[in-house]
Chains A and B, each alone.
Chain A
Amino acid sequence: MKKFFSIILTLFIPLSFTNASKAGGHMEAEVIHWWVSGGEQAAISKFAEAWKDMGGTWIDTAITGGDNARGTTVNRIIGGNPPTAAQFNISKQFVDLVEQGQLQSLEEVASAEGWRDFIYPPELIETCEFEGEFYCVPVNIHSAQWMWINNEVFEKAGVPKPNTIQDFIAVAPQIQDAGFIPLALGGQPWQEGLMFDVVASSTLGFPHMAKLYRDKDVEAFRDGKMEMVLQTYRDLNKFIDEGAPGRLWNDATAMVVEGKAAMQIMGDWARGEFAVAGKEAKVDYDCVIPGKEKYVALGGDVFVFPKNSDPKVKEIQLKMASMMVNPTVQANFNNAKGSLPMRLDVDTSAADACMQMGLELIQQPSAIMRENDDWNSPAFTSAWEDIISEFRNDPNYSVSAAMDDLEAVLTSGL
């Protein structure tokens, strides 16, 4: 048996050596990310180009779907073969990795380059900083709280464009009578959850949302306003077509682009679909942030750098982190991605009318809105989404039953 194992071992030892020498030889970096659509590929290639200009080799490991990509990253870290860099969202997704000491601290380069002075908004520093050290690089900001409106459909239906969700519910029956689907939705839990958060935050305002998601304040949850939000959410359901379950977000956006549906509630990444179809912001389509108070949600992506047993990798990682926050690289990347940059001194002249709205808003600190997943673990947010999704799909699920179930999640300590 011993002999058997020694044969196996000798078979694998050369393999592990070649692996190590490959990683340490020159500036070779493997990056795991989930940017696979056309626009996203264009964006990540800006990083890759900048990296190659610095003399590095970029190994692109693109994996479809954020869940799968993050799962691969975690498996590779546990398995002892971590990538050089990996994508996560601006959220609590990677907190465990930091706490378990699996990520490389970027403090050296962060303090040398003064990241704390130029990263904007400061909430991003909060996301990446653990015990006074930087562990992630925010690369862009995507906000979720938009209503995407097909101008032509509203004209044909002869109704005014809405400024709030309530406005929309008032005119939606007329849109329906005119033969259009008033609201396009992809019936997947994350999209249903996103729409719920937009309804809730535009009705209740950000301070109240923070009491729920950050403070888990049961009194604020039970003050009677949440029932109203759930009822509004249920009212919206009447204006969604029955083919919604399982639909992808971009298929729902396509319904608005093609003029089958009047409106979609979706994040600013929907802009790309309009752009690809050759539609012009504010002319063919309109983007509205619902509610009397306008907020811009702070979503987006970060890169983390898993610790590697090879000391040379750390150097490469710090260089890459520095490359990602470089203002020129940031401008190229975000213009391709259609997202907001993570610093204010970046050239955004290429931004279209909708993106300009976001850029203006984000410069007012009071308009910046944090989201559910900024404060809560994926376990919490998905348990929450489950209830919202079930509430949308099951007409027999009463508001009061949903309130009880949501409260149970709120107090579950997940």
Chain B
Amino acid sequence: MYFLTKNLASKISLLPMIIISLTVFVGCIIYSFIYSLTGSKLIPALNYVGFQQYERLFKSRKWDVAVENIFIYGFVFTIGCLVIGFLLAVLIDQKIRGESLFRTIFLYPYAMSFVVTGLVWKWVLNPTFGLEHSMHLWGFDWFKLDWLVNRELAIYAVCIAAVWQGAGFVMVLMLAGLRGIDEDIWKSLSIEGIPKWRSYLFVILPMIRPMVVTSIVLIAAGVVKVYDLILALTSGGPGYATTTPAMYVMENFFSRANLGQAFAASIIMFISVVCILAPWAYYEFYFRNKEAK
């Protein structure tokens, strides 16, 4: 009973959120699962077909491509943002002139919506009127930049656009961390005669760990929900080379009138997110508590 009455006021104030979470999130997950076992087309209908939708999903070549893409995108986007963001932060941290100007320039892409980013890069990377075309007009005939229309490379073109947008944001977070480092630490590092790059990499970086973790969490959330960028940049093309699980779900929900399939795919998406998050949550909430005790 003590478990319930302890901090009663805060528990009551959390109640609406708990109710909403339970009904909206858990309720919808259960609803999705139930209907993923049906042959629903345009409208949800309870005509059970067993695990047929899952079978169809795993046989689908398009779904395979979508899953592969989200891994490529997740990996390149996360690493790209962290490395470039950190480098930019370090460079700006060198007490350069016009710092705020550079900060604005680097952060500016983040202020744009993914749709705008997608369209801008679509024009830049389009071989018939983008950068490649301009280079040809300037006389550089050998120049080739056909990533967007090359089915092997198109997903990396998406990554470039995403990193361009996200790196500035990571830079700001990291910079905030760097600015929080005590001057004395820098003084003692220089007395020891440690080169700057080593100090950054082995002393400062571990000290701004919270900033790195925050960046990773924010980036990871962006990876799972990537949809609008790809829609604007490639619409999943060429063919379906840059499609993602979220796009697969949306397509089946709306244009393809294939609700059962969409529910099955979203349940699989949900399970994979849980699989990735569970060990981390276990570590954060259980392991850490133990450590604290």
The chain A residues found within 8 Å of chain B, CB to CB, are 67-68, 70-71, 74, 78, 93-97, 100, 102, 187-189, 241-246, 377-379, 382, 386, 389-390, 392-394, 405, 412, 414
Contact = CB atoms under 8 A, between A and B. Distances in A.
Interface stretch (B191-199, B220-228, B238-246, B263-271): B238-246
B238 A96 contact: no
Interface of B: 41-45, 56, 61-62, 122, 126-129, 146, 148-149, 151, 154, 234-235, 237-241, 251-258, 261
A170 to B, nearest CB: 26
Nearest to B260: A379
Given A97-B42, A379-B258, A390 B234 contact: no
A379 B41 contact: yes
A393 B151 CA distance: 7
A37 to B, nearest CB: 19
Contacts of A393: 151, 237-239, 241
Contacts of B238: 187, 245-246, 393
A100 B261 contact: no
A74 B238 CA distance: 29
6 contacts: A96-B41, A96-B43, A189-B240, A246-B237, A379-B41, A393-B151
A394 B238 CA distance: 9
B130 to A, nearest CB: 9
A407 to B, nearest CB: 13
Contacts of A68: 254
A102 B43 CA distance: 10
Contact of A67 (B43, B127, B255): B255
A242 B237 contact: no
Mostly helix, strand, loop or mixed at chain B's interface? loop
Contacts of B235: 188, 246
Mostly helix, strand, loop or mixed at chain A's interface? helix
Contact of B239 (A67, A390, A412): A390
B42 A242 contact: no
A168 to B, nearest CB: 22
A97 B43 contact: yes
B42 A389 contact: no
Nearest to A241: B128
A188 B237 contact: yes
Contact of B146 (A70, A78, A242, A378): A242
B127 A394 contact: no
Contacts of A389: 237, 239-240
A148 to B, nearest CB: 20
Could you say which of B43, B61, B234, B257 has the most chain A C-beta atoms within 10 Å of its C-beta? Answer: B257
Contact of A243 (B42, B127, B154, B254): B127
Contacts of B122: 246
Contacts of A93: 42, 257
A246 B148 CA distance: 10
A164 B235 CA distance: 31
The 5 closest A-B pairs by CB, nearest first: A243-B128, A393-B239, A96-B42, A67-B255, A245-B238
A74 B43 contact: yes
A70 B62 CA distance: 24
A378 B256 contact: yes
A95 B237 CA distance: 30
Contacts of A241: 128
Given A242-B149, A377-B41, 12 more contacts: A68-B254, A70-B254, A78-B43, A93-B42, A95-B42, A102-B43, A245-B238, A246-B148, A246-B234, A379-B257, A393-B239, A414-B258
A392 B240 CA distance: 11
Contacts of A100: 43, 45
Could you say which of B126, B234, B239 has the most chain A C-beta atoms within 10 Å of its C-beta? Answer: B239
A188 B231 CA distance: 12
Contact of B129 (A188, A243, A377): A243
A379 B239 contact: no
Nearest to B146: A242
Could you say which of A74, A241, A379 has the most chain B C-beta atoms within 10 Å of its C-beta? Answer: A379
B256 A379 contact: yes
B149 A245 contact: yes
Could you say which of B146, B235, B256 has the most chain A C-beta atoms within 10 Å of its C-beta? Answer: B256
B239 A392 contact: yes
A340 B58 CA distance: 43
Nearest to A66: B255
B254 A405 contact: no
Could you say which of B61, B148, B234, B237 has the most chain A C-beta atoms within 10 Å of its C-beta? Answer: B237
A75 to B, nearest CB: 9
